[in-house]
Amino acid sequence: QKREISNFDYLMYLNTLAGRSYNDYMQYPVFPWVLADYHSETLNLTDPHTFRDLSKPMGAQTVERKHKFIQRFNEVEKSEGDLSAQCHYCTHYSSAIIVASYLVRMEPFTQTFCSLQGGSFDVADRMFHSVKSTWESASRDNMSDVRELTPEFFYLPEFLINANHFELGCMQDGTVLGDVQLPPWADGDPHKFIFLHRQALESDYVSAHLHRWIDLIFGHKQHGSAAVEAVNTYHPYFYGDKMDLNNIKDPLIKGTILGFISNFGQIPKQV
């Protein structure tokens, strides 16, 4: 409020308080998508329509998608601890595979991604190759994709470049994967993308609305009735601090829960 700290620094501080760390892929710092415009030739940071709705989770960015997730929630009988437990999302906005897929063009993330994929790169069409198509998938098109971003999207142009010349494969339309495809307003320049993306994060619009996203990820809309109302509930296993693993005697169930968390991600500790 006093403009004595940047939005970036504030988010990193909150991530640290919530137990997120660069040293843990499963609890990596999580940052929001802040833009919704990945098609314009120039980026207008004074137009509210340029920005993502920070008051809603990624699963509720479009009305149609929001209603589908609400329908999913209402159709499942509440059965705590069961794989079919009542929730809006059975996938997560941050996980080891999401982090590694974003940063796959840089080591050590390349090796991490391959080890998580069974020793090789994923099918080319599923690899992170375009900022625009990733936004469309996470905000609109893919019901199993509600991913947010990592801090690197706001300061590290190198992760967008295939400087190591990894053979990432060829998509069905014939496109050979190399550098990440950038929005038109970046003019094909990763440094310009990072510069403008960071400007967007520090813009007046984001500064005025960022607290709403923080409520969803770190605050009172993270779980409980407020989360249900906000279309922001995840599978019970994702709430690591709510699961008392010490009281689960069955090693098979315990192993299933730990595997679920390591594969799909964890909700940050509530700040």
Model confidence pLDDT, tens digit, residues 106-158: 999 999 999 988 888 888 889 999 999 999 999 999 999 999 999 999 999 99
Window from 14-28, 81-95, 111-125, 222-236 with minimum mean pLDDT: 81-95
Question: What is the average per-residue pLDDT within 50-64?
Answer: 97
For residue 249, the model assigns a pLDDT of 78
Using CB atoms within 10 Å of the CB of residue 162, give its burial: 0 to 12 exposed, 13 to 18 middle, 19+ buried.
Answer: middle
For residue 3, the model assigns a pLDDT of 85
Q: What percent of the chain has pLDDT above 70?
A: 95
Confidence of residue 6 (pLDDT cuts 50, 70, 90): very high
User: Can you name the residues that pair with 267 across neighbouring β-strands?
Assistant: none
Q: How far apart are alpha carbons 25 and 212 in whole angstroms?
A: 25
Most distant CA pair in the chain, distance: 58
Q: How far apart are alpha carbons 265 and 138 in whole angstroms?
A: 16
Confidence of residue 242 (pLDDT cuts 50, 70, 90): low
Q: What is the pTM of this model?
A: 0.92
Q: Which two tokens stand for residue 153?
A: 């999207």
Domain spans, the chain: 7-262
Q: In 3-state terms, the chain is what percent helix, strand and coil (to 5)?
A: 45, 5, 50
Q: How far apart are alpha carbons 160 and 43 in whole angstroms?
A: 19
For residue 136, the model assigns a pLDDT of 97
Looking at domain 7-262, its CATH architecture is Orthogonal Bundle (1.10)
